[in-house]
Structure 1
Amino acid sequence: MKALQEYLATKFEMKDLGKLIYFLGIEVVRSKHGVFLSQQKYVLDLLTKTGMLGCKPAETPIEMNHKLEILPYQNPTDKGCYQQLVGRLICLSHTRPDIAYAVSVVSHFMHAPSEAHIEAVYQILRCLKSARGKSLLFSKNGISNIEGYTDSDWAGDPTTKRHTSGYFTLVEGNLVTWKSKKHKVVARSSAEAKFRGMAHGVCELIWIRNILRDLGIDYAKPMNLHCDNKVAIEIAQNLVQHDRITC
């Protein structure tokens, strides 16, 4: 590391600030348990600026089985305020995977937000009030594998009937990547929607393994991908009869 710092100093004007403590709103805390990444101060500032510091806490960032959509006669809300709030929540989701799906949903209505959409944003803020101190922990726990979990809905978007899939990946038991994405195609069954989600999860696992290999860390063990749909798993394991499924 010292040799790298000396080499970079010959190319750029730089100085060593010591151990990382705070970077782009992310707090870094080290302890005997590992390294914690949090944005607690960012959450407090966001709640204070929006006047939600004294709000009633919520247990979940979004209502279950929500039906958020763009309607022809909806009551509009302040577009600039909505975009600013959602933009701040996107920055917060870098260390808060628990709100990633909810933020992904509300970001779909940036061009035409309504009162129902801004209420969904306030729901996320109320959830942050109840768990503003959550953080990511990276530690040594004796696990030496890479695994991922995937899930997907079917025709979850009331307007387009497109589905949303999500995944998260663990390296040696530590959460490293997560994503929620609405697909561009309409799945014809829940099994197809789950299978497409698995395909994205596989791509992420392969990408992580290649990155670690470039860093000199090689995992010889097979990577595990978890899915809760039996039909989708059978499609993935069948090397012949999958001509009707394309990703």
Structure 2
Amino acid sequence: MADPSLFTKHSGKSFLALLVYVDDILVAGTDSNQIKDLKQLLDRSFKIKDLGALNYFLGIEAFRSSKGINICQRKYALEILQENGFLEAKPSRTPSVPGQKLNNLEGTLIEQPEIFRRLVGKLLYLTNTRPDIAHAVQQLSQFVDKPRDSHLVATHRVLRYIKGSPGKGLFYPANPNFKLQGFSDSDWANCIKSRKSITGYCIYLGESLISWKTKKQATVSRSSSEAEYRALASTTCEIQWLKYLLADLNSEIHSPVALFCDNNSAMAIYELKCL
């Protein structure tokens, strides 16, 4: 199995999937009777509480319609704003200042670093449905050890951006096109201190965004081509894992996966490696 918390069952034309997170369970399938039998079995063994159709799971809100399903973390986002006193703040159009590069030298150390750490941790969880803040939060997460007032100001800008659209999330159409494609990019030598680059990618299943990441690369890249190639490699690994996961969900992808990159030299290296 691609995901150790996912359990599936194939029985003729019916399919059943069970996703477990500690004591929370999601059940999906093509046969309602099979789902009912499973819930009865679990109730006899563990005394479960059936909450009905999916509408709230681990802080993620789900809204179903005939057109598809929309997920967001509006309640969670509003709780973050209220806890930090930003419910009445003036909204910001962007989660960070364009071109801003944070470092660990400017500004003074804040007196209560645990406040910053807790806030960044909550923002990291919010990126589960908010890819638009992923890069800004990734930058802030690098300074949880010794946060400074400049980092706190940058975090407050993220909060003001969330204030403008706390209910923003992701929409997944009911009849998606099962075409998998990925987009890869990197920001060469982004980190001022270590000169490490940033990998960024997003992967779509049809029109649905199903995976994304912004992460500092493990080693220093000597050129933009090398940084782009490392980003391509990370994206390829994620695509391969998603193919395994979709196969477990009885939705195997047989067509070639398109992977897009805007660096010609990196694509040339990648093509040579694939030969």
TM-score normalised over the length of structure 2: 0.83
Partner of residue 245, structure 2: 211
* Matching of residue 232 in structure 1 with residue 259 in structure 2: no
Alignment-mate amino acid for residue 137 of structure 1: F
Q: Distance in 2 between matches of 1:142 and 1:21?
A: 21
Alpha-carbon separation, structure 2, partners of 1:144 and 1:38: 23
Structure 2: which 5+ residue stretches go unaligned? 1-34
After the TM superposition, which of the residue ranges 153-162 and 32-41 deviates more from structure 2?
A: 32-41
| Counterpart AA for 1:157 | C
CA displacement 1:175-210 (0-9 Å, x = unmatched): 111111101211011111011001000000010001
Larger deviation: 190-199 or 215-224?
215-224
- The answer to whether the Cα contact below 8 Å between 2:66 and 2:174 also exists between their aligned partners in 1 is no
Q: Distance in 2 between matches of 1:179 and 1:34?
A: 24
Match of 1:245 in 2: none
Say whether residues 1:2 and 2:47 are aligned partners: no
Counterparts of 1:82-93 in structure 2, within 5 Å, are 82-93=116-127
- Runs of 4+ in structure 1 off by over 3 angstroms are none
C-alpha separation between the residues in 2 aligned to 1:219 and 1:90? 30
Q: Distance in 2 between matches of 1:142 and 1:84?
A: 37
Alignment partner, residue 76 of structure 1: 109
Paired position in structure 2 for 1:133: 167
Moved more, 5-14 or 16-25: 5-14
Counterparts of 1:140 and 1:230, CA distance in 2: 36
| Cα-to-partner distance string for 1:103-137 (whole Å, 9 max, x where unaligned) | 11101100100011001101100111112221111
- Report deviation, 1:142: 4.7
**Distance apart, 1:94 and its partner CA:** 1.1
Q: For the residues of structure 2 that align with 1:180 and 1:142, how far apart are their CA atoms?
A: 25
Aligned pairs for 1:1-247 (under 5 A) are 1-71=35-105, 74-77=107-110, 78-239=112-273
Between the aligned residues of both structures, percent identity stands at: 38
User: Which amino acid is the alignment partner of residue 154 of structure 1?
Assistant: W
Compare the two structures and name the one with the higher strand fraction. 2
- Between the aligned partners of 2:177 and 2:245, the Cα distance in structure 1 is 19
- 1:81 partner letter: I
RMSD after superposition: 1.7
Aligned length: 240
Q: TM-score, normalised by structure 1?
A: 0.92
Bigger mean CA deviation after superposition, 190-199 or 126-135: 126-135
Gaps of 5+ in 1: 242-247
Which range moved further: 51-60 or 10-19? 10-19
Report the CA distance shift for 1:172/1:62 in structure 2 as closer, same or farther (over 3 A). same
